[in-house]
Structure 1
Amino acid sequence: MHERARDRQGISCPLALEGIASSFVAVHRDSELMQAWAAEHERRGWPFFNPPEWSYFPAIVSGGDDAAAVRAALDELDAATAIIRNEGIPHMTAA
């Protein structure tokens, strides 16, 4: 997934994630929030890409601490997707 994002290619994801994906929000590449996403990727040992002008990430609830909010959003996303992970659910293609 990270390699495809880096190359700005679409990915295939389970249809069951459509509801979760629909709550993603656009983040501008020059924003402090994008910096928080990049830092969290680095913290988790994930590659980060040279983003296009806008990229979509899970919505966050921030009380002023974007780093903690991004971490919490990814933890919530992981919990929400744990049930459907590796279950052979039909996929949709995102461009």
Structure 2
Amino acid sequence: MVNKPGMFHETTRTLAPEDPQAAPLESAVADALAVAGGIDASDVTVTAVGSVIVLEGNVLQLEEISLATEIARSIPGVSAVDNRLTAAGLNDVITGYRH
């Protein structure tokens, strides 16, 4: 058996540094969504990009999309909400919107 020397043809992937300011804002929004009535946020991901909150994932009903936006906007420090949530009803799939 002949072993050839290994070659690496790709560049090393680096992760963007985590914004230490984002974590408290993300937690505050996620906590508010978790305890709010009228929304099942168990499949919602909250990410802060500066003071803009990005909501991604799935909810069950269309009304939950707008409610998630309202809840996120009510948190001090949130300047805007980029709502990318999807509501999957029995026959419909409707996506969110940016506010």
User: Please, what TM-score do these two structures have when normalized by structure 1?
Assistant: 0.28
Higher helix share: 1
Higher strand share: 2
